[in-house]
């Protein structure tokens, strides 16, 4: 198998599996943000979230919900951070959802940065002028 996550789902490569059913497999990330960081993958090869079928969407989201609750109940976390990369920053080209245990003050910062665009170069120049006026 050329896909690492397909091989893990098939049991051909060992992993610390925490959830295993007909549709999905979840296992510990080998490079966790925090201990208990889990990757959830559909058993069938799906590259990105937009490619996930409607048939698999509910089992996938249901498993994500269960894993998110498990972070609190099983690990004593206060909550969880759940995210998916599609193509950009996707280290394995197989859909995987990160479920990461979180506690207040755990130090996770700058993981996501909101971005906006200026409507035009003129708008950008206007913002620069407004800032220069008060600097």
Q: Which tens digits make up the pLDDT trace of 33-86?
A: 989 999 999 999 999 999 999 999 999 999 999 999 999 999 999 999 999 988
Is the pLDDT score of 116 beyond 80?
no
Q: What would the mean pLDDT of 87-116 be, rounded to a whole number?
A: 81
Considering only the top CATH level, what class is 4-107? alpha beta
CA 79 → CA 37, 63, 76, distances in Å? 12, 16, 9
Name the burial class of residue 73, with classes exposed (0-12), middle (13-18) and buried (19+) by CB atoms within 10 angstroms of its CB: exposed
Q: DSSP assignment, residue 19? A: E
**What is the arithmetic mean of pLDDT over 6-22?**
96
């Amino acid at each position: 198998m050329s896909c690492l996550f397909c091989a893990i789902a098939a049991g051909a490569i060992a992993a610390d599996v925490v959830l295993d059913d007909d549709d999905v497999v979840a296992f510990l990330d080998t490079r966790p943000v925090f201990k208990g960081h889990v990757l959830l993958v559909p058993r069938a090869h799906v590259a990105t979230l937009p490619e996930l079928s409607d048939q698999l969407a509910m089992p996938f989201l249901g498993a994500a919900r269960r894993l998110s609750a498990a972070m609190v109940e099983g690990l004593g976390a206060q909550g969880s951070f759940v995210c998916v990369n599609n193509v950009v920053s996707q280290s394995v080209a197989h859909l995987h959802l990160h479920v990461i245990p979180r506690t207040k003050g755990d130090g996770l910062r700058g993981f996501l940065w909101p971005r906006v665009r200026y409507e035009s170069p003129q708008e950008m120049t206007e913002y620069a002028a407004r800032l220069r006026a008060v600097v």
